[in-house]
Every structure is written in structure tokens, then in C-alpha cells.
Amino acid sequence: MGGSAPEVWISAGEGDLIRADAIVVLRQDRTGRLTVQLRDEAKVSVPLLEGASSDGRPPADFHRQLVRMIAEVADSGSAQLISARRVDGGWRWISEPL
């Protein structure tokens, strides 16, 4: 997100924030663990969400839902923070202005 485009940030495990445009790879394994690989020479991977038991696991397309959310909030015109939350027994991506 360079120039006049608003910045989109993602809340990661450990309380870190990651700029969405720094992500080059998003992985979700069978346990629901989500990790992102950052665009840098070290190819650093950062966990966004730890895996969980079968009843608390995010849906199989949760990583795709994040990509859709990033695209939607990028058009909002203001800096946004996206985070994963359990809502009514399921997982959702929630956005809020920074």
C-alpha cells in the first residue's frame, strides 16, 4: 500500500501487527494454524492464528476470507486493522479503523 492508498494492518499472534502489503505467502494447515511469509530476504514466517481442536478450528477457507477482507478494506479510504475473532462459536475476520 504505497502512495495515497490506505494502509491495512493485520493483528498477529503475540500482539504483533503486520502490514498486509508485506505478506507474500499465506498458509493454513490442517489444524487451522495460519502463518504468513513476509516479503524480505530472510523469508520470515509469522503466525497469525494458532491451530485449534476440531470444535474451535477456523474454516478451511479462512485464509481466503482474509484475502477478501484485505481487498474490501483497502477500498475504505482509511487505515484499517484486521483481526481474527471467535464470534458465536465460529471464526470471523473483523476490521476496525486505526
pLDDT over 80 (residue 52): no
**pLDDT tier at 57 (50, 70, 90 boundaries)?**
confident
**pLDDT tier at 55 (50, 70, 90 boundaries)?**
low
- Residue 74: how many CB atoms within 10 A of its CB? 16
pLDDT tens digits, residue range 64-91? 999 999 999 988 878 999 999 888 888 9
Longest dimension (CA), the chain: 42
Phi, psi of 4 (to 5 degrees): -95, 0
* pTM assigned to the model: 0.82
pLDDT tens digits, residue range 12-37? 877 889 999 999 999 988 888 888 99
